[in-house]
Structure 1
Amino acid sequence: MGIDSESDAAANLQIGPTSLGMVRIYIEAEGVELPLDFDPEEALEIAEELRVAAEAVKAQK
């Protein structure tokens, strides 16, 4: 499965700060719990990538 492939998978996503100064993206799906911790700079880079991708999709409509 690639980034451009559709999927029927469902997951819960939570994002927030940790007590250790990291930003956690927590993904929970059937049989999977995946906590991903990023330092603030990495989190800002991810946020920018999300923004750019959303703008690209909006431009296609």
Structure 2
Amino acid sequence: MGINTERDIEANLQIGPTDLGQVRLFIEGDGIEIPMDFAPEEAEEIAEEILAAAKAARLVADR
């Protein structure tokens, strides 16, 4: 299983700050909840990676 393997799974993603100064990605799916907490600096790095992936995906889609 890799990043290019498609799955038919529904999930919700919530993103927000915690009361401890962390950024939480909260993933909720069928019978599972995954809270992932990151320091603000780590969250910024993740955001940069998401933006870079979106840019790369656009290039693939435009071919």
| Same fold by TM-score greater than 0.5 | yes
User: 1:55: how far off?
Assistant: 0.2
Which residue is 1:7 aligned to? Answer: 7
Which sections of structure 1, spanning at least 5 residues, go unmatched? Answer: none
Which residue is 1:25 aligned to? Answer: 25
**Where has structure 1 moved over 2 Å in runs of 4 or more?**
none
Percent identity reads: 59
**TM-score, structure 1 length as denominator?**
0.96
SS at match of 2:14: strand
Q: Amino acid of the residue matched to residue 9 of structure 1?
A: I
Q: Cα RMSD over matched residues?
A: 0.6
Encode CA deviations 1:1-57: one digit per residue, 9 max, x unaligned. 111111111100000000000000000000100100000010001000100000001
Which residue is 2:16 aligned to? Answer: 16
SS at match of 2:26: strand
Number of aligned residues: 61
Which residue is 2:54 aligned to? Answer: 54
2:36 corresponds to 1:36: yes
**TM-score, structure 2 length as denominator?**
0.93
SS at match of 1:53: helix
